[in-house]
Amino acid sequence: MQAILLVGAGGAIGAMARFGLASLVGRLLPMSFPLATLLINIIGSVLMGVVVGLMARFLPPQAEGLRLFVAVGALGGFTTFSSFSLDTIVLIERGALPQAGLYVLLSVVVCLIGLYLGLLMTRGVA
């Protein structure tokens, strides 16, 4: 139960940060290109690399709660793309290149198809 609360609290903070940054970018640089989302994904991925790297280097394994709060919760709430990026790099570092490529391909293609199918389903309802 504690793990769920840590992830939830971190996720709420991350989601609020994402919304705040997206709103700020939208006000400062209004455009039709999804710049805010791109920036959030880049920032989140860099932060995930720094946070996971520092935690692996300096924190004992008993600090699982901090990892759940920061990496899974806050950064996951900020952008799940950072989690996707971490999973991909872990596969690459393990030498599982075919699995990493398949994961990237399926994540992008299947998620786009899934979103499009969801839109088609709602459009047929009206």
Q: Which residues are annotated as a binding site for Na(+)?
A: 76, 79
Q: What is the DSSP letter of 34?
A: -
Closest C-alpha to 114, from 104, 106, 124, 123 = 106
Binding residues: 76, 79
Q: How far is it, in rounded angstroms, from Cα 123 to Cα 107?
A: 24
Q: How far is it, in rounded angstroms, from Cα 92 to Cα 101?
A: 9
DSSP string, 67-124: HIIIIIIIIHHH-HHHHHHHHHHHHHHTT-HHHHHHHHHHHHHHHHHHHHHHHHHHHH
